[in-house]
Structure 1
Amino acid sequence: MELRIEGLGVDIDGRSLVHDLSLDVRGGEVVGLVGPNGSGKSTALRCVYRALRQDRGTVRVGADDIGRLPMRRSAQLVAAMTQDGAVDLDFTVEEVVALGRAPHQRGNQALGERERALCARAMERLGIHHLAGRGVLTLSGGERQRVLLARALVQEPEILVLDEPTNHLDVRHQVEVLSHLRGAGPTVLVVLHDLNLAAAACDRLCVLSQGRLVASGTPSEVLTEELVAEVFGVRATVVPHPLTGDPQLLYSLHHTP
């Protein structure tokens, strides 16, 4: 299902954090939001999963204005994995993953056979099945990240939004988590700071700077040496990945633009 952001604007404490942002994410596509700290990426995402109400503009999932839907229905359509998605109570991994079914269940209704199988598959896919009985407070940061992603996938959303999903993950698990985004089923909008990972994982990139969309296109179209210097303030050489051809940035630690 398509995600469409139309003329999004967010003002906080008299300061405009997002300016007239418009972008489309086609059904099944993986689109990355990239940009420096403070460029409005997380603020825009919060409007998509309704943690923040925009001052202007519309977020549409298919033909529906997400802001006009009942919260239960929007939770069925959009799942979020956020930077602050901490679990403070010592639920087991299995219990946390099962919480992804909450928008689809009534009250304290027990999970059925299909739901239990869905949870088991998600844990297997993310490599956390062996942790099912462990309390989440006993896990490492990287293990918790994978638990939260499994919970989001179990929700079976049409739209999956992720804010820095590779935080706390080692290189192997960064690659594994991002590899699950392609072909996962939902349409994906993801915030990433690592431009090389973004180039490898995303079909298209949208670059934000000071709350504005300044570039949009395939990774090869967007990640130019000129744009990286202008937006991120660093000098980098862009080379094709020897296996995939994806653009990869080689940074210089001794020179700035």
Structure 2
Amino acid sequence: MMRLVLDAVSVEFAGVALVRALSLKVGSGEVVGMVGPNGSGKSTALRCVYRALRPTAGVVRVDDADLTTLALRDSARRVAAVTQENQSDLDFTVREVVALGRFPHHEDKRALNVRERQLCEKAMRRTDVPHLADRSVLTLSGGERQRVLIARALAQEPELLVLDEPTNHLDLRHQVELLAFLRRCGLTVLIALHDLNLAAATCDRLGVLKDGELVASGAPDEVLTPDLVDRVFGVRPVIVAHPQTGAPRLLYDLTSRDSFDMNSKEGSAR
């Protein structure tokens, strides 16, 4: 399993700082979550980890090696990503899409061997998509496609799994199954999530981002306090412990929020 370190990572684009001196560690076999409001820099930071972006400053290290010093094929063998930009117009079957996870392991155009085909089948079973194997990905719902992309990442046999809002489009059952799998899979996982309750239930540690900066990090019950959630997200929750796991659960008072009141002067049509 792999260790990951983001060491003072900064990203600037067109003179705008998207991420500022972000330092975060993910230990071998840990599940670490990144949370924060829209535009806080979560996705940008993740792109540096799966090499879609190069940091303007700072270093991403995997097992003490600067990620940029690795050959792209080598890093692709070790790091798999499920991103938010995975739309495709290619008319591939689900089985073919999952098999693409083996591409970094091939330096020629040979067909998958028996072990690799079994690996792809196992990845599809883990994500509950075997019944879709011969369907075109163009015919799938958003949730079905998301599960196929997760299967492709698992077929890659990574040491580090990077997931950007992987529960988007998933129904409740598949959200729970995916996050429970991440808890027990043994891989090193860096995941961005919007839902703080899901993040608290899933992650060993959380990094909280606001305006591109890390404002807090630690265990969920240490980080998710009413004051911090109010300061970062603009909502003050009541926090209780889950009766079985003890994980923090955030409860929100919807009656006090009137920003979208359609009857208010500001919200009325002009």
TM-score normalised by L of structure 2? 0.93
Q: Which amino acid aligns with 2:153?
A: A
Task: Give distance in 2, aligned partners of 1:21 and 1:235.
Answer: 25
Amino acid at match of 2:27: R
- Cα contact 1:235–1:255 (8 A) shared by 2: no
Q: TM-score, normalised by structure 1?
A: 0.98
Counterpart in the other structure of 2:238 = 237
> C-alpha offsets along residues 206-234 of structure 1, whole Å, 9 cap, x if unaligned?
00011111111111001111111010000
Alignment coverage as a number of residue pairs: 256
* Amino acid in structure 1 at the alignment position of 2:160: I
Q: Deviations over 1:51-92 (max 9, x none)?
A: 011100000110221111111111111110000111221101
Distance in 1, Cα, partners of 2:8 & 2:234: 27
Choose 118-127 or 178-187, whichever is displaced more. 178-187
Residue of structure 1 equivalent to 2:93: 92
User: What letter is aligned with 1:227?
Assistant: L
Q: Deviations over 1:137-164 (max 9, x none)?
A: 1111001000000000111111110000
Matches within 5 A, 1:54-133: 54-133=55-134
Matched residue type, 2:178: V
Alignment correspondent of 1:222: 223
Partner Cα separation in structure 1 for residue 215 and residue 246 of structure 2: 24
Match in the other structure for 1:167: 168
- Structure 2: runs of 5+ lacking an equivalent: 258-270
The CA distance in 2 between the partners of 1:133 and 1:126, in whole Å, is 15
Partner of 1:48: 49
Larger radius of gyration: 2
Matched to 1:108, the amino acid is K
Query: What CA distance in whole angstroms lies between the structure 1 residues aligned with 2:93 and 2:186?
Result: 26
Q: Which runs of 5+ in 1 are unaligned?
A: none
1:8 and 1:56 in contact (8 A); partners too: yes
Mapped pair 1:18 → 2:19: yes
For residues 171 and 128 of structure 2, the distance between their equivalents in structure 1, rounded to whole angstroms, comes to 14
Q: Secondary structure at the match of 2:209?
A: strand
Q: Is residue 81–residue 148 contact of structure 1 (8 Å, CA) maintained in 2?
A: yes
RMSD (CA atoms): 0.9
Partner of 2:155: 154
